[in-house]
Amino acid sequence: MSLHGKIALITGGTSGIGKATALLFAERGAAVAVTGRSAARGAEVVSACEDRGAEAIFLAADLGDPSVCKPLIEDTLARFERLDVLVNNAGVTHAAGTLETTDEQYFEQLAVNVTAPFLLSREAARAMKTQGGGAIVNVASDLGLRGEKGITAYCATKGAVIQLTRAMAIDQAEDGIRVNAVCPGEIHTEMLERAVRDRGHSIADGLAMLEDRVPIKRIGTPEEIARAILFLASDDSSFCTGAILSADGGSVAR
Ligand SMILES: NC(=O)c1ccc[n+]([C@@H]2O[C@H](COP(=O)([O-])OP(=O)(O)OC[C@H]3O[C@@H](n4cnc5c(N)ncnc54)[C@H](OP(=O)(O)O)[C@@H]3O)[C@@H](O)[C@H]2O)c1
């Protein structure tokens, strides 16, 4: 799967799945713009992309603030002159049930997980339509497809991203813009380690418990999700739009 000559913007590219995606895209010939809040980690990812022969830039932005979305697309276009792929990967979770979720936690998850993907996708689609096409890949979650105890608002936001994917896929179909989503299951990243700690487990015990619940009996890696994202971003998935691709070791199938 190649992204030779393509320009990609990846949100949350400073860690976990987004970082693995940036590095894989760089290896497969894309120029990449990565976003995040941490400039130090952004610089490391840019340097690692350059080591793989790719052009790369870091754009600092807190996606909790909706006003940053349009400038992120504008800055990418200013640097690279086009945008072929948008990966809406940045996400935030709080391990809290309905009664425990604070207003602040709810609105933060809504802003980062739903509002930012919508605003970024809208601006990207305007540019992609002018260019004659593009691909948008949303990183949703198995928790957008099923319920889980103690994580209500996150489940709601990921369900919204799945419906955003389907609705935009139809809206943008005749503009040559494909819109798809990947639904990771349990993936070993900082987010998963935080979730395990927030539930009062040690990392080792928490991961072992989660592993046991996954049908294929292991936690996934960020690189495994990056490859699913690459497929949906590349021309190899040219007939896929509105697809919701589970990459979860069988969790949702069970
Ligand atoms: N890990 C899993 O088990 C799992 C399962 C299903 C779905 N997912 C989804 O996969 C995506 C990536 O998660 P991950 O596991 O790779 O998590 P991670 O390692 O915690 O990375 C999250 C990324 O999002 C960025 N981010 C978080 N809040 C942000 C904000 N307010 N503004 C801008 N950027 C922000 C972070 O960048 P900075 O820290 O630099 O701001 C970081 O690059 C998320 O959408 C998550 O919901 C993960």
- Residue ranges per domain, the chain? 7-247
The owner of tokens 């990812």 is 45
pLDDT of residue 57: 98
Mutate to test the pocket of ligand 1, among 120, 191, 251 (most ligand atoms within 8 A of CB): 191
Quick check: 8 and 35 in contact, CB under 8 A?
no
User: Does ligand 1 lie within 6 Å of residue 38's CB atom?
Assistant: yes
Q: CA–CA distance from 119 to each of 63, 67, 91, 246 (Å)?
A: 10, 9, 15, 24
How remote is the CA of residue 132 from the centroid of ligand 1, in Å?
A: 30
Which ranges of the chain would DSSP assign to H, the alpha helix? 16-27, 39-51, 69-80, 103-110, 116-131, 152-172, 190-198, 203-213, 222-233
User: Does ligand 1 lie within 6 Å of residue 36's CB atom?
Assistant: yes
Mutate to test the pocket of ligand 1, among 11, 35, 37, 162 (most ligand atoms within 8 A of CB): 37
pLDDT of residue 102: 98
Q: How far apart are CA 124 and CA 109, in angstroms?
A: 22
pLDDT of residue 45: 98
pLDDT tens for the chain, residues 1 to 254 = 999 999 999 999 999 999 999 999 999 999 999 999 999 999 999 999 999 999 999 999 999 999 999 999 999 999 999 999 999 999 999 999 999 999 999 999 999 999 999 999 999 999 999 999 999 999 999 999 999 999 999 999 999 999 999 999 999 999 999 999 999 999 999 999 999 999 899 999 999 999 999 999 999 999 999 999 999 999 999 999 999 999 999 999 99
DSSP reduced 3-state for 187: strand
Q: How far apart are CA 178 and CA 104, in angstroms?
A: 33
pLDDT digits (tens, 9 = 90+) for 24-54: 999 999 999 999 999 999 999 999 999 999 9
Query: Across the beta sheet with 85-88, what order do the strands follow?
Result: 56-60, 31-36, 7-10, 85-88, 134-139, 177-184, 244-247
DSSP reduced 3-state for 151: coil
User: Does ligand 1 lie within 6 Å of residue 87's CB atom?
Assistant: no
DSSP sequence for 197-246: HHTT--HHHHHHHHHHHSTTSS-B-HHHHHHHHHHHHSGGGTT--S-EEE
DSSP reduced 3-state for 30: coil
**Set 19, 154, 162, 172: catalytic member:** 154
CATH topology of domain 7-247: Rossmann fold (3.40.50)
pLDDT of residue 166: 98
154 is catalytic: yes
User: Does ligand 1 lie within 6 Å of residue 249's CB atom?
Assistant: no
User: Does ligand 1 lie within 6 Å of residue 117's CB atom?
Assistant: no
pLDDT of residue 199: 87
Number of the ligand 1 atom closest to the C-alpha atom of 219: 3
How remote is the CA of residue 191 from the centroid of ligand 1, in Å?
A: 6
User: Does ligand 1 lie within 6 Å of residue 43's CB atom?
Assistant: no
